[in-house]
């Protein structure tokens, strides 16, 4: 039995870079990309540590997961995975990052998290597998799971080496299934590097342009503020798109200026800069809800686009009132 970790607690996870499509050549292992908190689970005798992708301690936010790992019959390993809450949105998971221990304790019982494991960095003998190829790390991971037995809130992630199967998974993505990850199965674990690839299924939605922000230091349009009509018929702010070609901005500014008219959004309106907005000023110009754009997006959380969207085209053929939230409906996948 090892008496120290051969993989440091400060180890960073191997990251992924975005690509447009699933590679067709041999040499790839594909796995589901889960929509959760990436984390490393360290177990050495009675000690359990959950760390984020950059080494931040997570134990206090997920006590039920720490308890689960502490109860396992194997007392030496480091595994890489994703913390998810099965059947719930990413927003539910985010609620765990709360300073009040009482709230975390309550949520850990009401919406317990699951650890979806997909890599092994240290085996049950205490041997580091960082330099081992993925094929060997997967064997070690599956060996651990055989010894773990059936454990609630601990799952072994699927994988395939078939591009066709990976494509089928991608087509079913949405909700908890965020896309596909690809890894070279002959490569080591490259901590902190973007040595994997990720492919997401992009979707589109038609949105009302309810306002805009000027670009930093200019009086030209920098980003469009997007809205959708809710069940009460009010226009809610749902995100932004900023990929406007520089050459198009003067003409677009001239087009939008005559349409400036409050309130812009009659439901939830843009507020101060947050994870949903850019780092520009909170000031924005409201517009008459007459213009519609089609945007491309990947994930929705709490009725907003989680990231910035890509402007696809203007939709003069679309009536603003047709831009409703039903475009964003998605089932939560396993």
User: Is the per-residue pLDDT at 274 higher than 60?
Assistant: no
- Same domain membership, residue 229 and residue 159: no
Q: Mean pLDDT throughout 104-119?
A: 96
**Residue 7: inside a domain, yes or no?**
no
- Same domain membership, residue 212 and residue 298: yes
- Same domain membership, residue 187 and residue 64: yes
Q: Mean pLDDT throughout 125-139?
A: 97
- Rounding to the nearest 10 degrees, give the CA dihedral for residues 115, 182, 200, 168: -90
User: Is the per-residue pLDDT at 281 higher than 50?
Assistant: no
Distance in angstroms (rounded) separating the CA atoms of residues 299 and 311: 15
Q: Which of residues 116 and 328 earns the better pLDDT score? A: 116
- Same domain membership, residue 289 and residue 158: no
- The model's pLDDT over 137-176, given as tens digits with 9 standing for 90+, comes to 999 999 999 999 999 999 999 999 999 999 999 988 876 7
- Domain end point (choices 166, 199, 232): 199
pLDDT for position 59: 97
- Domain end point (choices 146, 179, 199): 199
User: Is the per-residue pLDDT at 38 higher than 90?
Assistant: yes
- Same domain membership, residue 189 and residue 210: no
Number of domains the chain contains: 2
- The model's pLDDT over 48-100, given as tens digits with 9 standing for 90+, comes to 999 999 889 999 999 999 999 999 999 999 999 999 998 777 778 888 988 89
User: Is the per-residue pLDDT at 291 higher than 50?
Assistant: yes
Instruction: Identify the active-site residue in 12, 17, 33, 172.
Output: 33
- Contact yes or no for 174/331 (Cβ under 8 A): yes
Angle at 55 between CA 52 and CA 57, to 5 degrees: 70
Catalytic, 12? Answer no
pLDDT for position 86: 87
Host domain of residue 195:
15-199
- Rounding to the nearest 10 degrees, give the CA dihedral for residues 99, 103, 107, 108: 70
User: Is the per-residue pLDDT at 123 higher than 80?
Assistant: yes
- Same domain membership, residue 195 and residue 207: no
pLDDT for position 282: 64
For residue 40 the two structure tokens come to 């490393």
Q: What is the rounded radius of gyration, in angstroms, for the C-alpha atoms of the chain?
A: 23
């Amino acid at each position: 039995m090892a008496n120290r970790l051969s993989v440091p607690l400060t180890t960073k996870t191997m990251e992924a870079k975005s690509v447009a499509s699933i590679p067709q050549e041999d040499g790839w292992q594909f796995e589901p990309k889960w929509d959760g908190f990436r984390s490393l689970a360290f177990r050495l005798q009675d000690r359990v540590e959950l760390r984020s992708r950059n080494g931040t301690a997570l134990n206090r936010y997920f006590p039920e997961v720490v308890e689960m790992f502490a109860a396992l019959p194997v007392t030496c390993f480091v595994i890489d995975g994703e913390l998810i809450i099965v059947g719930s949105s990413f927003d539910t998971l985010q609620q765990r990052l709360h300073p009040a221990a009482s709230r975390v304790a309550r949520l850990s019982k009401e919406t317990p998290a699951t650890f979806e494991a997909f890599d092994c960095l240290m085996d049950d003998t205490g041997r580091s597998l960082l330099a081992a190829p993925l094929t060997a790390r997967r064997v070690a991971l599956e060996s651990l799971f055989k010894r773990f037995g059936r454990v609630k809130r601990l799952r072994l992630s699927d994988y395939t080496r078939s591009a066709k199967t990976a494509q089928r998974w991608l087509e079913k993505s949405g909700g908890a299934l965020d896309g596909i990850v690809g890894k070279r199965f002959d490569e080591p674990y490259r901590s902190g590097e973007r040595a994997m690839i990720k492919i997401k299924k992009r979707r589109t939605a038609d949105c009302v342009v309810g306002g805009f922000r000027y670009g930093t230091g200019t009086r030209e349009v920098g980003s469009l503020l997007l809205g959708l009509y809710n069940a009460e018929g009010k226009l809610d702010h749902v995100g932004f798109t900023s990929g406007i070609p520089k050459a198009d901005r003067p003409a677009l500014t001239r087009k939008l200026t005559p349409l400036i008219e409050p309130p812009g959004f009659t439901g939830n309106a843009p507020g101060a800069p947050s994870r949903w907005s850019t780092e520009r000023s909170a000031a924005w110009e409201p517009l008459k809800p007459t213009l519609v754009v089609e945007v491309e997006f990947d994930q929705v959380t709490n009725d907003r686009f989680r990231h910035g969207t890509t402007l696809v085209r203007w939709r003069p053929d679309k009536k603003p009132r047709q831009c409703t939230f039903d475009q964003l409906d998605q089932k939560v996948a396993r």
